[in-house]
């Protein structure tokens, strides 16, 4: 009995020690087992608080930088498109080799201008009021389309080319009368130059509107010194100078038509006429009194063959350029001659067409102009007495096409 009582305190002490050890472990386990539930509740509580705060705060309506449609919570950002690629740099400017300057390139649209005079056969008066549909233009026999048409009446730019040689006084006398008649019919806006020729070509006065200077230049031709009449050289030089002047030009050639000592041949002169645009030649033969049996060609230094050749040359110059040829027999005819020239020069129809042959081959192309009625038949006209009226169509017979290198 005494031994059992002695062991009770020891047992109680051991039990107390076990309780102190076990109870803290159980409390720790309980704390760990209840932590997940508490964490979930805390998360739910925090989520609820965030939702409430979002409902209380206004939504951010500021558009994002990229822009885009909006939703319940605000605009939705759309990614920006990629910026367009920058244009390629311009090519470097070409540089000419040293010593070579810049040049311009001009492209010409091929058009042909034709001045047409329609004159009565007897009185050589200009026939006005014709329409575009009355004209037909043919180039090398091929009809052409007219692109512009109008009647012109404008001042003239002319060269008075005079033969002045010691051959026959009748030639000089006719030349004086013709030159004076021409200057008397000039208008204030006309430009005229006076050139004489014998063995050499002499410019007596440059282009001027002063009629007094023109008359003084003609009157200065008093005493010829040379017998030679180098017509081809003089005409070639005059055409060369006129080629540098813009617009329509005229040559009033007062000559016997004889050439004696020219360096230029007739073929070269004819070729020069073809190559020179916008020049019309009016030829007036001097010494016509020889046809009436006294003086002139008959008594001068020109035989019949030379006379016929001279006439043919003067006619060719006029015909090729759309001019006219005159053979005045008397002094009183000269005013009428220049009246006809003035009618032809100052009153014309100007036709412009684009050639169907656009080749730039330098060939000479023939031009033919016809008058037709509304039905396409040859145009017939009547005078005041209802009699058939004959008329002449004055136009150049062709032109020289440009070369590819021009």
Q: Report how far Cα 264 is from the mean position of its chain's Cα atoms.
A: 34
**CATH of residue 171:** 3.40.50.410
> Which residue reads 């007495």 in tokens?
385
CB-hemisphere CA count at 13 Å for 171?
A: 25
**Which H or E element spans position 183?**
helix 169-184
Domain span at residue 378 reads 112-152+350-400
Q: Find, among 219, 223, 156, 148, the residue nearest to 187 by Cα.
A: 156
In this structure, are residues 351 and 371 in contact, taking their beta carbons and an 8 Å threshold?
no
Instruction: Say if residue 329 is in the same domain as residue 271.
Output: yes
pTM over 0.85: no
pLDDT tens for each residue of the chain, 406 residues long: 444 444 445 555 545 555 555 445 444 444 444 444 444 445 555 555 555 544 445 545 555 554 555 555 555 555 555 566 778 887 777 676 776 666 555 555 688 989 888 888 777 778 888 999 999 999 999 999 999 998 887 788 999 999 888 766 667 777 888 888 888 888 888 899 999 998 889 999 999 998 889 888 888 887 777 788 899 999 999 999 998 887 788 999 988 888 888 999 999 999 999 888 888 899 998 876 444 444 444 444 456 777 888 889 999 999 988 888 998 888 778 888 888 888 778 888 999 999 999 888 888 999 999 999 988 899 998 887 888 888 888 888 888 888 876 4
Helix axes 304-321, 266-275, angle to 10 degrees: 10
**Considering its fold, how many domains does the chain have in total?**
2
> Residue 256 and residue 283: Cα distance in Å, rounded?
10
Asked whether residue 161 falls in the same domain as residue 136, the answer is no
Q: Are residues 263 and 359 in the same domain?
A: no
Same domain, 223 and 309: yes
Task: Judge if 183 and 304 occupy the same domain.
Answer: yes
Is residue 83 situated within a structural domain? no
> Six-digit token pair at 215?
């008359």
Within a domain: 63: no
- Quick one: 119 and 215 in the same domain? no
- The CA-atom distances, in angstroms, between 97 and each of 100, 101, 198, 373 are 6, 8, 50, 61
Does residue 107 fall inside a structural domain? no
| Sign of the C-alpha dihedral computed for residues 68, 70, 73 and 74 taken in this order | positive
Place of tokens 């031009």: 367
Question: In what order do the strands lie in the sheet containing 157-163?
Answer: 201-208, 191-197, 157-163, 249-255, 279-285, 325-326
């Amino acid at each position: 009995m005494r031994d059992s009582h002695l062991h009770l305190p020891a047992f109680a002490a051991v039990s107390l020690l076990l309780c102190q050890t076990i109870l803290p472990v159980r409390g720790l386990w309980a704390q760990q087992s209840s932590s997940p539930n508490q964490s979930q509740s805390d998360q739910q509580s925090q989520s609820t608080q965030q939702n409430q705060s979002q409902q209380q705060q206004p939504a951010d309506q500021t558009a994002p930088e990229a822009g885009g449609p909006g939703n319940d919570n605000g605009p939705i950002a759309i990614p920006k498109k990629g910026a367009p690629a920058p244009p390629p740099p311009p090519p470097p400017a070409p540089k000419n080799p040293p010593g070579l300057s810049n040049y311009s390139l001009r492209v010409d649209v091929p058009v042909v201008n034709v001045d047409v005079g329609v004159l009565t056969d007897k009185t050589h008066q200009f026939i006005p009021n014709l329409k575009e549909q009355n004209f037909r233009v043919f180039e090398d026999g091929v009809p052409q389309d007219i692109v512009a048409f109008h009647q012109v009446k404008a001042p003239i730019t002319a060269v008075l080319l005079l033969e002045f040689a010691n051959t026959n006084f009748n030639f000089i006398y006719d030349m004086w009368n013709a030159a004076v008649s021409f200057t008397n019919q000039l208008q204030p806006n006309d430009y005229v130059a006076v050139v004489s020729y014998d063995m050499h070509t002499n410019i007596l006065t440059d282009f001027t509107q002063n009629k007094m200077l023109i008359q003084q230049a003609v009157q200065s031709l008093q005493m010829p010194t040379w017998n030679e009449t180098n017509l081809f050289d003089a005409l070639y030089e005059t055409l060369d100078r006129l080629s540098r002047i813009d617009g329509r030009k005229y040559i009033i050639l007062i000559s016997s038509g004889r050439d004696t000592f020219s360096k230029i041949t007739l073929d070269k002169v004819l070729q020069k006429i073809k190559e020179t645009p916008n020049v019309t030649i009016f030829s007036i033969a001097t010494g016509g009194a020889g046809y009436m049996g006294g003086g002139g060609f008959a008594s001068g230094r020109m035989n019949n063959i030379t006379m016929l050749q001279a006439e043919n040359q003067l006619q060719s110059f006029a015909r090729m350029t759309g001019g006219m040829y005159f053979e005045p027999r008397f002094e009183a005819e000269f005013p009428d001659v220049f009246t006809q020239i003035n009618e032809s020069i100052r009153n014309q129809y100007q036709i412009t067409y684009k050639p169907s042959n656009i080749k730039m081959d330098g060939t000479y192309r023939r031009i033919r102009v016809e008058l037709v009625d509304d039905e396409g038949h040859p145009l017939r006209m009547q005078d005041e007495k209802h009699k058939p009226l004959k008329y002449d169509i004055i136009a150049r017979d062709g032109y020289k096409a440009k070369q590819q290198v021009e």
